[in-house]
Homo-oligomer: A and B are copies of this chain.
Amino acid sequence: MKIVNERMEALGNVRSVIRDLFEYGLQRKKEVGAENVYDYSLGNPSVPAPACVDEAIEDLLQHTDSVQLHGYTSAQGAEDVRQAVAAYVNETFGAGVAAADLYMTCGAAASLTITLHALSTPGDECIAIAPFFPEYRVFAEGAGLKFRVVPADREAFQIDFASLEETVNAHTKALIVNSPNNPSGVVYTRKTLERLCTFLGEKELEYGHPIYLISDEPYRELVYDGQEVPYLPNLYDDTIVCYSFSKSLSLPGDRIGYILVSPKACEHRAVYAAVAGAGRSLGYVCAPAMMQRVIARCLGKTSDLNIYRENRDLLYNALTSYGYEAVYPDGAFYLFVKTPIDDAGAFAERAKAYDLLLVPSDSFGCGGYVRISYCVSTDMIRRSLPAFEKLISEYR
């Protein structure tokens, strides 16, 4: 008998590259001073939550009975909260959803794990499009799905449809899309998404079963030039939206999000029931109750996105002027920069000599780039620019 589950032990022992870099940064800051380390590793919102968040908490504390405020909600979330979210989604996107289509969760990771466990049956496969958030693999494999990757479109970081065509097969149960994208910062265009949805629809007909499109959209509101982020339930019936308020409201620690099973999805009541069952089986009793009520009062609000926009412009303009090549990011708070050598890991290692902490792109399923999280102080970006300039000059 093995003492512990070896997959779990390995997952616990092997920190992600991002976490490792972050921990290195903490150590390095102790050695040379926090102001001399330019930590671009984590996607942790740097802009305070909008005032409505703390105001909602204060108001709830003062005007809600304690037993009610701190008590369980039903497993799928408080009815009034789900009604408020449904109303907001319908007003904003005209999606025609009901409270009964929504399941409140402990954030994006919970939304994804619950959805993947709900859909997974033996032999099923799940596809992600590179570059992608590395935990997708952990979540999909944990749910018993075979994880397949569509290589990146290295020109525009949209979708490489030739590769997608080769990856989809009769076992494909789900495909995860993430736009605005972590790590590229790119927003999939309406044209890309329409082509994707047409393609998937054809494949559903060919294979005779649904292929669910899982739209992981924690960055939906983080776009900077009025760029459209098309709402997938309006383009494709078999869509499941995995949403989180972590980034839009700057409250990642409070763990609050939702799953929306489109009412037009194939067998949508069965999918919803399986979502509820997966939540139960994984130990999610209900999403944090007070935070459910907080987000219901903050729908449509965001933290101050101007700061991220300013950071993006400053960083993108400076880096490209130094000779870096970068994908122009319309959203999220990531800049994806081509490394002047093929080995992104070696480049990121060299960057450490300048105390620039950049995440090599290999764990995102796409070599030859570094991810720069610009959810940091604008001042830190300014101070880091000479280091970026020196770094690239080494490769001229």
Q: Of residues A106, A110, A138, which shows the largest number of chain B Cβ atoms within 10 Å of its Cβ?
A: A106
Answer whether residue A230 sits at the interface, using C-beta atoms and an 8 A cutoff.
Answer: no
A178, B251: Cα distance in complex, Å: 34
Contact A252 B71 (CB under 8 A): yes
Binding stretch for chain B, among A29-37, A189-197, A281-289, A353-361 = A281-289
Contact B283 A13 (CB under 8 A): no
Contact A280 B138 (CB under 8 A): yes
A82-116 vs B, CB cutoff 8 Å, 1 = contact: the mask equals 00000000000000000000000011011111100
- A4-23, CB < 8 A from B: 4-13
Closest to A106 in B: B106
Contact B8 A67 (CB under 8 A): no
- A256-296, CB < 8 A from B: 266-267, 270-291
A137 CB to nearest chain B CB (Å): 11
A350, B277: Cα distance in complex, Å: 30
Interface residues on A, range: 35 or more
A371, B288: Cα distance in complex, Å: 27
Answer whether residue A390 sits at the interface, using C-beta atoms and an 8 A cutoff.
Answer: no
Residues of B contacting A170 with CB < 8 Å? Answer: 1
Answer whether residue A53 sits at the interface, using C-beta atoms and an 8 A cutoff.
Answer: yes
Identify which of B11, B109, B274, B285 contacts A283 (C-beta below 8 A): B109
A382 CB to nearest chain B CB (Å): 19
Binding stretch for chain B, among A118-126, A308-316, A334-342 = A118-126
A347, B336: Cα distance in complex, Å: 66
What does DSSP make chain A's interface, helix, strand, loop or mixed?
Answer: helix
Identify which of B9, B58, B65, B73 contacts A277 (C-beta below 8 A): B9
Answer whether residue A47 sits at the interface, using C-beta atoms and an 8 A cutoff.
Answer: yes
Closest to A273 in B: B12
Residues of B contacting A47 with CB < 8 Å? Answer: 67
A270, B10: Cα distance in complex, Å: 9
Residues of B contacting A274 with CB < 8 Å? Answer: 4-5, 8-9, 12
Contact B253 A290 (CB under 8 A): yes
Residues of B contacting A3 with CB < 8 Å? Answer: 209-210, 266-267, 270-271
- A31-56, CB < 8 A from B: 44-49, 53-54
Contact B71 A11 (CB under 8 A): no
Closest to A252 in B: B72
Answer whether residue A2 sits at the interface, using C-beta atoms and an 8 A cutoff.
Answer: yes
Q: What are 15 of the A-B contact pairs (CB < 8 Å)? A: A1-B173, A3-B209, A3-B266, A5-B277, A7-B277, A12-B272, A49-B66, A53-B66, A58-B58, A70-B250, A70-B253, A106-B288, A113-B282, A138-B281, A255-B286
Given A4-B121, A70-B252, 5 extra CB contacts under 8 A: A1-B173, A4-B267, A71-B253, A106-B106, A255-B288
